Structure formats: structure tokens, C-alpha cells
Amino acid sequence: MKIRDEINETSEQIIILITSLLERAKNYFETIMPMYTHLRQAQIGTFSHFLLSYAEALLRDMGRLYDTYARVNQSPLGAGAVGGSSIKIDRQRTARLLGFDGLVRNSIDATTSRDTVLEFTAGLAILMETLSRMTEDFIIWSTDEFEYLDISDSHGSSSSAMPHKKNPDPLELIRAKAAAVLGNFVAMITVVKGLPSGYSRDLQEIKNSLWQACDATHQALRIMNYIVNSLIINERKMLQASSNSYAISLDLAEILVTKNKVPFRLAHKIVGSLVRKAITDKKRPLNMLGEKEIRQVVKSFGWSLPIQDILRTIRQTTPQISINSRQSFGSPNPKQQPRMVKLLKREMAYYVEEVTKRKRRNAQAMKDLNETVTALTVRHKENY
């Protein structure tokens, strides 16, 4: 019963965080920034696309907890010590009175199994992993080397010795708490893995780990929501990094493929050689390459291509053109971003409605239980 309440509360906090991400994303549909693989600039994207990527991940995290609820909300009451009871107990009725959806049927299974507890804690650990990745991005991008964003003063801490520093301590603590929750899960599954059938006293040890995981997750969600809402975004720095980047290289390669019918493997090599030439010669942007240099590179591959067209393409392919040219569903194209927000809101609305229903059913069950107990108490007093 406690875990089902924890699932509902955690789901509500995830919904609040997703809502904050969606609202902030609306302001950055066309805020251009580099996207990364291996922590190296990979393609051009938008800050809204980045925020929505975490909204998608959090929605899956909530979905896992939502699905776990159905397996958690089964009543073990009436299983006795391990083999049931000779007392005539209506297990179905007690399950209904306590708001359960059904029964853990087998009495041995009811007293032994803790898989639903482990499933719930695993869901929390995966959720905390999502939050930990968010913190890592925010920490890196708030450094002096990146300056893509800044943590508000209210969510940073000063250095004890260096007066110029603002440290992202709350983010670092969320990252550490993610490890702690994972440790809670490992401790619990390690306790359970070697137990025989029937109750063993070892099982009392999993409770502390369970409640610690719940508390850490709730705190992390609340703090992350505060941070997301107060982030200071440096759009100028993001655009500057994108403009000086070689991340348009894939766009150029795809243009060679689609317009000039060059095999992609060869297009990859040609553009890679152009990048190498730009880097080794005073580290220039690609659009600073001259016609002679481009001709020299293309000729080295023994391929006849319209050099003027390639030169024009390189000169004209800007970060804005790069993201506007994306056609695939789910890309950072600014025209797709409102659609992504709409789809996420629609999916989230389903969970909002269902979580509300579950809380209402549980509250009604407790109300009915109190009324039933009161009525039985009055009847007992009248009879005796």
C-alpha cells in the first residue's frame, strides 16, 4: 500500500518536471546549438530538441512505474504465516476494502516474493539515471569552457576559498544520489537472491534501502524541477559554437549524395578531407576554403564534380540551413518542435488522468473501509 502511494507521488513529480521541460522548450525552438556524440560536436541542433529528449526519457521512466503499479497493487492479506488460515477469511473482500485490484493467490508466493518491490526500486534507479545524465549535461555546459548556460545563484554554492566560483553543488548531489539509489537496489536484490521459500528475517533489511531510495528520488525530482525552471540560457554562445563548428559536415555529405549522386562512403571521405584541410591550415571554418583547395581535394579521389556547386553549397550551408533541411521525424527542425511538444503533452495527459483516478480510488477505498469498520463497531456494541 505504501509503494503504490509512492508510485503515484513519484509519477506526479515526474509530470511536474516534464511540464517544466515542455514550457521551457517552447522558448527555444530556434535556439541553435551543437549536438554531441563522444562529447565531440556531431550535428547542429536546437536547445528545445535537447530539452525534449529528456522529456521523452522521463515519460518512459513514468511508464515503467505506471506499469509496475498493477503488479504491486495485489493483496497478500490472508496468506497467513505461509500456508493460509483455518479461519474463514474473505480475501477478495479485504482486498477490495484496502483498494487492491486483486490477490497474490498463492500463500507461499504472498509471503516470500518481493519481486514487485525490486521492480519498483529498479524503476527508481533508472529514473535517477535519467536525472544524473541531465545533471552531467548541465554541469558541463555551465563551465567556463562551454558557457552554454548558467545555474542560477539560488541553486549554486560559492567556493570556501575561491571567491570567483559558483559551484553546481545541487546537481552534483543529484548525480551522487543516483549512485546511492542504484546501491539501494543492488543491496535489496542481493538480500533476496539467496532466500528460500517462506518468510525470512533477512527481508526486514530491504525496507531501509527502499525508503532511502524513495526519499532520494523525491528530493532529486523537486530540485531538478527548480533548476530547470531557473536555468539561464546563453543563446549567443550556443550560436557562436555552432557557427564555428564542423558539425555541418554530414549535411554537406548528404548534399553530395542527393544532388551529385556520389556514393555516401565517398562523400564521407571527400568532406572529411575538406575538414582536415581546414583544420590543418589555421583551423578555418569550412566556408573559408577556396575553389582551388576544394578542386584539389575532389581531384585526389578521381571523381568529376561541379566544383562551383560544391563551393556554393559550402558557403551557403549555415547552422540555420542545416537544421531547417532535416526531414526525418523527430529531428531538431524548428517546424517539428511544436509537434513534438504536442505529442508529449497528449501522452502525458493520459498519465495525469490515470494517476488521478488511482489516487481517487485509493482514497475512496480508505473512506469505505473506515465506514465499514465504524458500522461493524457500532453493531458489535449493540450486540454486546
Map residue 32 onto helix, strand or coil: strand
pLDDT level of residue 166 (50, 70, 90 thresholds): confident
The rounded Cα 35 to chain-centroid distance in angstroms is 17
Cα(93)–Cα(113) distance, rounded to whole angstroms? 22
Q: DSSP letters along 322-345, please?
A: HHHT--STTS--TTTHHHHHHHHH
Question: For the chain, first and last CA: distance in Å?
Answer: 33
**209 an active-site residue?**
no
pLDDT value at position 179? 98
pLDDT in tens, 187-220: 999 999 999 999 999 999 999 999 999 999 999 9
pLDDT value at position 304? 78
Q: For residue 56, which of 171, 110, 133 has the smallest C-alpha distance?
A: 133
State which amino acid sits at residue 243.
Answer: S
Q: Mean of the pLDDT values across residues 10-38?
A: 97
Query: Which fold, 249-317?
Result: Ribonucleotide Reductase Protein R1; domain 1 (1.10.40)
| Domain 2-241+334-383 shares a fold with domain 249-317 | no
**38 an active-site residue?**
yes
Contact 68, 119 (CB under 8 A): yes
Q: Domain-by-domain residue ranges, the chain?
A: 2-241+334-383, 249-317
Cα(24)–Cα(135) distance, rounded to whole angstroms? 17
Q: State which CATH number among 1.10.287.470, 1.20.1600.10, 1.10.10.10, 1.20.200.10 fits the domain covering 2-241+334-383.
A: 1.20.200.10
Q: Where are the alpha helices (DSSP H) in the chain?
A: 2-25, 47-72, 91-97, 107-112, 115-141, 169-193, 205-230, 235-243, 249-260, 264-280, 291-300, 307-316, 319-324, 337-383
Question: Which residue among the candidates 85, 159, 197, 300 is catalytic per the annotation?
Answer: 159
Predicted confidence (pLDDT) at residue 314 exceeds the cutoff of 90:
no
Question: Does the predicted TM-score (pTM) go above 0.75?
Answer: yes
Q: DSSP letters along 162-226, please?
A: -TT-EE-HHHHHHHHHHHHHHHHHHHHHHHHHT--SS--GGGGHHHHHHHHHHHHHHHHHHHHHH
pLDDT in tens, 216-260: 999 999 999 999 999 999 999 999 999 989 999 999 999 889 988
pLDDT in tens, 326-369: 989 999 999 999 999 999 999 999 999 999 999 999 999 999 99
